[in-house]
Each structure stands twice: as structure tokens, then as C-alpha cells.
A and B are shown apart, each in its own frame.
Chain A
Amino acid sequence: MATRLPLRSSLALAGLRIVNRTSRALGVGQGTVAGGRVALRIDPQLVRRMSARRRIVLVTGTNGKTTTTALVVAALGGATTNATGSNMSAGIVAALATDQSPLTVLEVDEAYLATVAEATQPEVVVLLNLSRDQLDRAAEVRVLAEKWRTTLHNSSATIVANCADPLVVYAAVAQMNSKVVWCDVGSSWTLDARSCPQCTEPLHPEGAWRCECGFAKPIPDFVLGETLSGAGSSVELDISLPGAFNRSNAALAVVAASLLGTPLQLAAERVGTIREVAGRFTVRQRDGQTFRLMLAKNPAGVSALIGLVAGGSDVVVSINDLIADGTDPSWLYDAPFDQLRGSTVWCTGERALDLATRLEYDDVTARVVTVDEVAGQIATSKPVDVIANYTAFAAWLETTSPC
């Protein structure tokens, strides 16, 4: 396929490979984004050209993008993907350059859906959820929902949409071709769906939510309960990743894969084998102590994870405030940390004091320590759960080793 690209694109790809090799050799990151940036500067049309003749699935949403992307790849039995979570144009170019497989599954930053969808002309778009996340840099959720809606309005893609989330429904429901597969996979997060996305009147978000203005939860094509049922069949969905939210992600992945021709049953079996994604949920060790690493970077993310944390035990929460994390940790107050009452929470990261303050006000025992101290301070034979935001999570991966 590369041979059919115009000279400009070939040059761009050569540039990408040189930069990636160089930055890897220099030890500055994985090199995917830097190379992608250079290539895009040489040929801004590169994503479009490299997307031609591929069957593309885009996965977007506030939480679960990386995991769901990996699950769709697994469900399909393999595909080209940006598995490192480099989910803006540069990372996507890098992913497309590494693999010629026509089946391509791309994780897309929620604010970049318009750009990427326009360039890649996807066959399927998976919409997971929308909730408040890094408000200091990201657009507010309603603005994002409106942007998605505009993007999807004329799209010819089939949309796999979580209809438990009113903002997702708002984005998908106006699609002209009405190729929307509504999936009721549940949602534990309602704080961003308390006022109607259509008219701003209060929305009652429980169950089959609806608003006076007529905006209401659509009749689902697939429902996730004990089994995943829809399209005239019902399949078991037993997954190895923990948490109800991961089961929801898996259900959407299975439905997406089925639209590309993988039988539901086979797709469900395949996602069941995935045990970790990009280090998330792996148990690692440091200084003789084992840790289970989990990533959460916004209130809905913490809300989804906190139920997995055993009550009454030691928990580590690491909060950084670099650009990738969001420089404003106000969101800590929207996350249900009160559920950690009874546990001892070891606070680490750049904003450990913000976290400790937030916990103290909710009567949760908090200890501020450095990352280097924490293993020495906890004495338990069981793996200690770590909830870390973006760069804090990366630091945990770096400073621990496999068991």
C-alpha cells in the first residue's frame, strides 16, 4: 500500500521513521508522537492517504478508550492500532505507518473526533461516555457533545453508542443515516447528566432517563445484563479485567467487532482472555511490596475504580498536575473518595496535599508520603491497590517491576 502513496507522503513516512528511531535511541519516549508530528508537517494529508482502503473503527469517550480499543482489537482477532494511547493525529499517523493490516482500530481523543473521523472515514465509531475531565484544558462536556453531534450528523459510519449516557445519545441521535446501534451497557456516573443536553431542564438520570422536552433514552438494540443480548442472540460475557465498567467496555467492543463480521460469540470469547491493558490492573512490585496499578484521571474514573478497592485496607492514591493530568485538581471533590473511609490512604504525587485535604474533610485517614517512601511504610502481604492519574500512573509503571 505504501508504494501507491504520492512522493510527498513517502517522504513524510521516511521522516517519521527516522525521527522515531532517533528519539527511541535517545531514550526520549516511545517515539511515536514525535515522528508522527514531523510526518504530518511534511504531508498534512497523510492520515487521509494512509486510511484509504482500510476498515477503520474509532473508539472515543472520556473513560475507557485505551481499554476498549484493546478489546476491539482482541475481539477482531488482531488489527492495526495505536495501542500506546497516542490518540491525537500524530500518534494515529505513527500507528498507521507501523502496520498495513486493513482492519484498523484507533483510540481517538474525544476533542479530536471531528478531525480524525474526517480524515479516516471510519466504518464504525464507538462512543463510550462523556464526563468532566481536565476542565482546565478540555472543553466542557456539553461543548464536546455538541461537537460530536456535528461531526456525526453527516457521517456514513455506523455508531455504536452507550445509550445509558444522555450526552452520548445527544451526540449520536441526530445522525442523518440513522445507523446507530444503541447499547445499554449501564453507567454509574450521573453527575454530568443531571440537566438535559437538549434543553438544560433537569434530567432524571436513573434507569430509562427522560426529559419533559421529549429527549429520552432510546430503545436499545443490545442490552448488557447477565448476558449480552441483542440481534436475536444472547452471549455470555465473562471477562478477566475487573469491574463493571470494563464489562461495559467489553460489551461495546464485542458489538463493534460483530459489525465488522466477527460472530458475537467468538468476539465475546476473545475479549474474555484480556487480563491487562497498557499496564492497567497489573500487579507489580517494589521494595518487597506488591501493588495493583489502576489509572483514573477524573471523577467518573475514580468512581468506577473505588468499588474494586477493598475496604479497611491500605490504598495508595497518586495525583500529579502536569499538563497531561490537568493542572487543576478541583475534580477530586467530585470523586466519591468518602467511600475510602475506614482505609488508610497513602497520598503521593505533586498534589498529595490537595488529596490529603480532600480526604481529611471527608474523615478518611490520609498520610502524605513520597513515592519512594510508600513501599517501606506499608507492611502487608497482599497487593496494595494504587489509583493514579496519568503521569503518576506512568511513574508507577516505571518505578515498579513485574512480579
Chain B
Amino acid sequence: MAGNDVTMLKIAVLYPELLGTYGDGGNALVLASRARRRGVEVEVVQVALDEEIPDAQILLLGGGEDGPQRQATYGLAKDDTLAKRVNDGAVLLAVCAGFQLIGTSYEVEGGLHVEGLGLVESVTTRGAKRRVGDLLTRVGNRWMVGFENHGGETELGSNEVPLGVVEAGAGNGRFAGGARYVDGVRRGNIFGTYAHGPVLAQNPWFADELLTHALGRELEPLSSVADDLHRSRVREIGDFHDDVVDY
């Protein structure tokens, strides 16, 4: 699917009734809006627990509380549709609880270990304290800003690559080679992160990167208020001077 020149884009928000605690619906809104402004026709579908995952180019998994997270995991694990869609080239953005459940396993309150979908190799345990606050990570040559609010610590398997290296905040709460934490996971067209809420709203470049993958072509530049927002957030969280901020 990806790789073709797509003019019709389908975005599927998976189980918003379970995974949508932190404005996660905003990610779909941002993608749809940025694609439409480039003349792409967009359809956003909300997929309920008892519905099949449609053949969409972008799949979104959001954050949620323990109970709904488990419910969503069981729903997604009932067949291998999600894995098939991802193997066929669909872009998957998995945030917070969504990121945890695409891994090998995660731990919920009460010490129960829940088997994840195994789309990536990662084991999430409950950390000593809840991580709440701004999150700033280095993703390639870009800054990604977000807000994290989770009690999990995620250990990636030795073959996995994190999405970013943490400048401020905790992310996965695990160290890369040096003294820096890492955040999320990146494997092909799977993107996982602890930056919840509409992470794409604060990072227009990241939204465009996902769109580029999904549409299989470069996108013309698009200026928006989000550029100002991104710049100001990076400066505030990173406490940088202007000349250190690069884009």
C-alpha cells in the first residue's frame, strides 16, 4: 500500500472509547487537516471494540487507564488483523498505553502481567514513581515535544530501536548507551512513544513524517501556527537559547 502514490487517505482511530484519555483524537485531526491542506482526500474512521480494523494507511492507538487498556489488548489480540495491516504497510502510531500494549507484555496495577500484541519486543513494568511532565526528545535531527503521564517503565528488546533520546523527562525510563533515557520505539512503519495527548499537534514535522510514509511521497511544505507552537515549546522545555534550536 505505502509506496504507491495515494490520493485518498484513510485514518483509523482504534477503540477511542477505551484509548482516548488524553486528547488522543487530536492526532487524527492533525493528520487529516495537514493532508487535506495538500489536496489529499481524507477519511477518518473510529473503530469500536467489536468492529474489524479497516484497510487504512494510518492506524492510531491512544492512551488509556489500566482496565480499558487490557480490554483493548484482548480486542486487538482476538485475530491477527492489526499485524497484517502493519505488515501490509500501514503506519501505526501507538501512544502511552497503546505503546505498551503493542509490546511483549506490560504490568498493570496489582502486579498483573498482561501479554501484549508482540508487534515489537518490549517489556513494560511499573516504575517506582509516576512520570508526569513535559517530555523533550531528540528524534534524528529533530526535537519532539510532548507531555508524559504514566507509571510504566519499558525495556526494549535488544533488536529494537527507540524513537528518540530523551533531553527532558523520562520516556521509557531506560538508559541508552550513555546517561540519557530513551523514549518509545521505532520499527519500520511502527512508531511508539510516551508523548501522549496529541503529540502530532505539537510536532508538525512528525505529523508530516507519518503522512509521507503513509502516502508514499514527499509533501510540499505547509506553514501553520503549529510551527510557532513547536518552536516555543522546544525553547521552554529545553531551556535553550535560540541558536541551539535547529529544525
Residues of chain A whose beta carbon lies under 8 Å from any beta carbon of chain B = 132, 135-137, 140, 142-143, 191, 194-195, 200-202, 327-328, 330-334, 353-354, 356-358, 360-363, 366, 368
B228 touches A333 (CB 8 A): no
Minimum CB–CB distance from B16 to chain A (whole Å) comes to: 8
Task: Report the separation of the CA atoms of residues A169 and B124 in the bound assembly, to the nearest whole angstrom.
Answer: 33
Task: Report the separation of the CA atoms of residues A136 and B135 in the bound assembly, to the nearest whole angstrom.
Answer: 13
B21 touches A132 (CB 8 A): yes
A361 touches B17 (CB 8 A): no
B67 contacts which chain A residues (CB < 8 A)? 142, 195, 200
B68 touches A358 (CB 8 A): no
B225 touches A368 (CB 8 A): yes
A136 contacts which chain B residues (CB < 8 A)? 132-133, 147, 149
B238 within 8 A of partner (CB): no
Task: Report the separation of the CA atoms of residues A169 and B5 in the bound assembly, to the nearest whole angstrom.
Answer: 51
B218 contacts which chain A residues (CB < 8 A)? none
B40 within 8 A of partner (CB): no
The B interface, classified by DSSP as helix, strand, loop or mixed, is mixed
A-B pairs, 4 with minimum CB distance: A330-B197, A333-B26, A333-B23, A194-B17
Task: Report the separation of the CA atoms of residues A200 and B65 in the bound assembly, to the nearest whole angstrom.
Answer: 10
Minimum CB–CB distance from B109 to chain A (whole Å) comes to: 9
B26 contacts which chain A residues (CB < 8 A)? 330, 332-333, 358, 361
| Proximity bits, B67-84, A CB within 8 Å = 1, else 0 | 110110000000000000
A330 touches B17 (CB 8 A): no
| Proximity bits, B127-165, A CB within 8 Å = 1, else 0 | 000001110000000000001010000000000000000
Given contacts A333-B29, A334-B23, contact A357 B71 (CB under 8 A): no
* Residue among A135, A195, A353 making CB contact with B149, cutoff 8 Å: A135
Task: Report the separation of the CA atoms of residues A328 and B132 in the bound assembly, to the nearest whole angstrom.
Answer: 10
B22 within 8 A of partner (CB): yes
Task: Report the separation of the CA atoms of residues A332 and B29 in the bound assembly, to the nearest whole angstrom.
Answer: 12
Chain A's closest residue to B33 (CB) is A361
Task: Report the separation of the CA atoms of residues A150 and B211 in the bound assembly, to the nearest whole angstrom.
Answer: 47
Task: Report the separation of the CA atoms of residues A354 and B17 in the bound assembly, to the nearest whole angstrom.
Answer: 24
The A interface, classified by DSSP as helix, strand, loop or mixed, is mixed
A330 touches B225 (CB 8 A): no
Chain A's closest residue to B28 (CB) is A333
Minimum CB–CB distance from B74 to chain A (whole Å) comes to: 10
Number of interface residues of B (CB under 8 A): 36
A195 contacts which chain B residues (CB < 8 A)? 17-18, 67-68, 71
Task: Report the separation of the CA atoms of residues A273 and B211 in the bound assembly, to the nearest whole angstrom.
Answer: 55
Chain B's closest residue to A299 (CB) is B23
B147 contacts which chain A residues (CB < 8 A)? 136, 327-328, 330
Minimum CB–CB distance from A159 to chain B (whole Å) comes to: 24
Given contacts A142-B67, A195-B68, A333-B23, contact A360 B224 (CB under 8 A): yes
Minimum CB–CB distance from A192 to chain B (whole Å) comes to: 9
Minimum CB–CB distance from B10 to chain A (whole Å) comes to: 18
Given contacts A202-B17, A333-B201, A361-B201, contact A328 B149 (CB under 8 A): yes
Task: Report the separation of the CA atoms of residues A137 and B228 in the bound assembly, to the nearest whole angstrom.
Answer: 27
B87 contacts which chain A residues (CB < 8 A)? none
B94 within 8 A of partner (CB): no
A135 touches B201 (CB 8 A): no
What are 19 pairs between A and B in contact, CB < 8 Å? A136-B149, A143-B65, A200-B18, A200-B67, A200-B68, A200-B70, A200-B71, A202-B49, A328-B149, A328-B197, A332-B23, A333-B25, A334-B25, A353-B228, A353-B229, A356-B229, A360-B33, A360-B225, A361-B26
Task: Report the separation of the CA atoms of residues A122 and B141 in the bound assembly, to the nearest whole angstrom.
Answer: 59
Task: Report the separation of the CA atoms of residues A202 and B18 in the bound assembly, to the nearest whole angstrom.
Answer: 8
Minimum CB–CB distance from B49 to chain A (whole Å) comes to: 6
B229 touches A357 (CB 8 A): yes
Given contacts A135-B21, A136-B132, contact A357 B149 (CB under 8 A): no
Given contacts A136-B147, A333-B197, A358-B201, contact A353 B232 (CB under 8 A): yes
B201 touches A357 (CB 8 A): yes
Chain B's closest residue to A139 (CB) is B65
Minimum CB–CB distance from A359 to chain B (whole Å) comes to: 8
Given contacts A360-B225, A366-B225, contact A333 B21 (CB under 8 A): no
Task: Report the separation of the CA atoms of residues A6 and B133 in the bound assembly, to the nearest whole angstrom.
Answer: 44
B198 within 8 A of partner (CB): yes
Task: Report the separation of the CA atoms of residues A334 and B134 in the bound assembly, to the nearest whole angstrom.
Answer: 19
Minimum CB–CB distance from A356 to chain B (whole Å) comes to: 5
B168 within 8 A of partner (CB): no
Minimum CB–CB distance from A220 to chain B (whole Å) comes to: 25
A368 contacts which chain B residues (CB < 8 A)? 225
A358 contacts which chain B residues (CB < 8 A)? 26, 198, 201
Q: A136-B133, A200-B67, A333-B197 are in contact. List 17 more A-B contacts (CB 8 A).
A: A142-B65, A194-B18, A195-B17, A195-B71, A200-B70, A200-B71, A201-B71, A327-B134, A330-B23, A330-B147, A330-B197, A353-B229, A357-B201, A357-B202, A360-B33, A366-B225, A368-B225
B85 contacts which chain A residues (CB < 8 A)? none
B42 within 8 A of partner (CB): no
A333 touches B229 (CB 8 A): no
B149 contacts which chain A residues (CB < 8 A)? 135-136, 328
B29 contacts which chain A residues (CB < 8 A)? 333, 361-362
B1 within 8 A of partner (CB): no
B226 within 8 A of partner (CB): yes
B59 within 8 A of partner (CB): no
* Residue among A140, A201, A202, A354 making CB contact with B21, cutoff 8 Å: A140
